[in-house]
Each structure stands twice: as structure tokens, then as C-alpha cells.
């Protein structure tokens, strides 16, 4: 295959990362309806999509505004789906969920505030920084810990996730505030 034919389909190929992200949304939707024996496989699939969508987007220079919006939405839906399912199944407590989803609640309230102020269209996107990426990594680690049944470490990890989530939320709020000042 020559170089010209490689470049002839960039429009189709550039949608691969968003397709991978969309797969995480599908996993989030089906998670509550799957048997517990499938949860590990679905968590690992969600983790794989979490890594691969951004990696492939950067590798192919296929980043997009849609991807910047879709990826965090997929993350929040996945965390919500898994955690609510596990609250119903008694695998995590409401307190543990509130702790490890603190960043997600914070982002939701920031979004709601921007919406109520009529400023939601003013913010194009806010790139995830290290505290947010660390929070996501800790959430997946927490999911794997739940699956191993190691309840002793669960609360400590939930507290660590809440701490990094709080830092991430404050960082998002700061970046958005700076962005709004520039308008």
C-alpha cells in the first residue's frame, strides 16, 4: 500500500477513537444487566477503551472536539453504571460511592452552574490534567479491588480517590474560571 492510499481515508479512520469511546458507553449501558461473572471482563474492557481511545487519537493525530466531550461523558456513565449496580448488589456502600465519585459529582455541578449562568457554550473543552487522570486510574483500581473482595482496603482507596477527585474538581473550576475571564 503506498502513502497516497494511506492518506485517502483519513476521514473514516479519524473516527476510530470516538468509536472506541462509544464502546465504553455501550458497556456502561449493558453492565447492570449482565451476570456478576461478566463484571471483570466488562471492567477490563472499559479500562481498555479508556486507554485506547486517547492513545489512538493522539497517535493518529485524530483528536476532535467530539472526542474531548464524549470521553469524559463515557467515563462518568461508566463509573455511574458500575457503582450504582454494585450499590444495589451490596458490593459498595453509598458512602464509598460518594467518596470515589466525588470528582464526577464536582464536574456535574460545574456543568450545571455553567448551564444555569448561560455560559456553557463559552467553554469549548477543558483538557484533563494529571489529578483527573489519577482519579480515573484510582476508580478503576477500586473497581478491581471490589471484584477481588478485599473490603479492608476499599474505604482507604475510596478516600484517596476522593482526595484526588477533589483536587481535580478544584483544578477544573480554576481552569474554567480563567477561561471565562478571557471572554
Q: What is the DSSP letter of 151?
A: H
For 48, list phi and psi in degrees, rounded to 5.
-60, -45
Q: Are 54 and 71 in contact (CB under 8 A)?
A: yes
Domain ranges of the chain: 1-91, 92-183
Our measurement of the distance from residue 95's CA atom to the centroid of its chain's CA atoms, rounded to an integer in Å, reads 20
User: Which strand (E) or helix (H) includes residue 181?
Assistant: helix 151-181
Q: How many whole angstroms separate alpha carbon 127 and alpha carbon 130?
A: 10
- Out of 16-30, 51-65, 144-158, give the one with best mean pLDDT: 16-30
4, pLDDT greater than 60: no
**pLDDT at residue 48, as a whole number:** 97
> Tell me: the pLDDT tens digits for 103-116?
999 999 998 999 99
152, pLDDT greater than 50: yes
> Tell me: the pLDDT tens digits for 54-88?
999 999 999 888 888 899 999 999 999 999 999 99
**pLDDT at residue 10, as a whole number:** 63
**Nine-digit cell string for 78:** 461508566
pTM, rounded to two decimals: 0.86
**Nine-digit cell string for 116:** 444555569
Amino acid at each position: 500500500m503506498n502513502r497516497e492510499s494511506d492518506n485517502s481515508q483519513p476521514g473514516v479512520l479519524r473516527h476510530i477513537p470516538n468509536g472506541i469511546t462509544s464502546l465504553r458507553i455501550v458497556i456502561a449501558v449493558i453492565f447492570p444487566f449482565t451476570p456478576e461473572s461478566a463484571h471483570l471482563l466488562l471492567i477490563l474492557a472499559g479500562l481498555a477503551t479508556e486507554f485506547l481511545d486517547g492513545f489512538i487519537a493522539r497517535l493518529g493525530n485524530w483528536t476532535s472536539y467530539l472526542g474531548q466531550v464524549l470521553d469524559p461523558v463515557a467515563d462518568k456513565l461508566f463509573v455511574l453504571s458500575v457503582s450504582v449496580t454494585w450499590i444495589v448488589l451490596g458490593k459498595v456502600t453509598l458512602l464509598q460511592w460518594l467518596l470515589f465519585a466525588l470528582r464526577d459529582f464536582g464536574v456535574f455541578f460545574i456543568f450545571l452552574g455553567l448551564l444555569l449562568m448561560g455560559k456553557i457554550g463559552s467553554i469549548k473543552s477543558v483538557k484533563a490534567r494529571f489529578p483527573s487522570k489519577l482519579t480515573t486510574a484510582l476508580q478503576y483500581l477500586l473497581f478491581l479491588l471490589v471484584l477481588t473482595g478485599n473490603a479492608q482496603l476499599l474505604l482507604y482507596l475510596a478516600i484517596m480517590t476522593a482526595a484526588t477527585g477533589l483536587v481535580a474538581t478544584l483544578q477544573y473550576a480554576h481552569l474554567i474560571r480563567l477561561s471565562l475571564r478571557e471572554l
